[in-house]
Amino acid sequence: MKPKKRTAKKSSLKKKVVIISLIAITAIIVSVAIYRQTQNEANTPKKDPNKYFQFLDAQAQGSRVSQNAIKIEYLQFNLTPVCGDAHNIVIFTEGMTSPEDYWYEEIKNGTEETIQIQFASPILVAKQPDDAYLLKVQIRSDETEKGEHVFRMKVDEEIGQIVFLVAVEQGQT
């Protein structure tokens, strides 16, 4: 009977070795897959946000300081990803109130998101030689590099000291 016990012990030991080996092999395969995935994400080139997103229907409101300067209090525009879904989108510009409110977890491809930026203290913007006022907004996402979008704004209407501006395309007057 003793030889049978040894055989039983040997087969039980073999089962344990096989199970431990399978667990180790599975762990190695999973580790390699995770490593490759993180390497692929790290090596994926990020795109220019001005090509990845459309910036549409920009409007601003402010007050005239002089013939050559306006203090902007509010900026609104529509942001639409056009090259795929966008994740962890961050929008920033100097003087904005509550910057943490301008983080978006996801905006689906082709979906328009209205961005409304209120400035804590109005930002001074000087008139350019072509009568445009330039407003700069920084933007980044998981899919894009950190970049800057420049809105070229022209005065649309003035009511007393209040000035309403709209975006114009390059070359448009």
67: Cβ contacts below 8 Å, ≥ 6 apart = 127
The string of pLDDT tens digits covering residues 81-103 is: 999 999 999 999 888 888 778 89
Domain spans of the chain?
1-44, 49-167
Mean pLDDT over residues 42-47, rounded? 76
The string of pLDDT tens digits covering residues 51-60 is: 999 999 999 9
Domain 49-167 has what CATH class? mainly beta
For the entire predicted model, the pTM comes to: 0.70
37: Cβ contacts below 8 Å, ≥ 6 apart = none
Higher-scoring residue by pLDDT: 7, 82: 82
- Do residues 122 and 63 lie in contact, with contact meaning Cβ atoms separated by under 8 Å? yes
**Distance between CA 83 and CA 95 in Å, rounded?**
30
Instruction: Write the DSSP assignment of 25-84 as a string of letters.
Output: HHHHHHHHHHHHHHHHHHHSPPBPHHHHEEEEEEEEEEEEEETTEEEEEEEEEEEEE-SS
Rounded to 5 degrees, φ, ψ at 46 are -90, 150
Higher-scoring residue by pLDDT: 168, 77: 77
Sorting pLDDT into bands at 50, 70 and 90, what band is 40? low
The string of pLDDT tens digits covering residues 142-163 is: 999 999 999 999 988 888 878 8
Bridge partners, residue 157, by sequence: 164
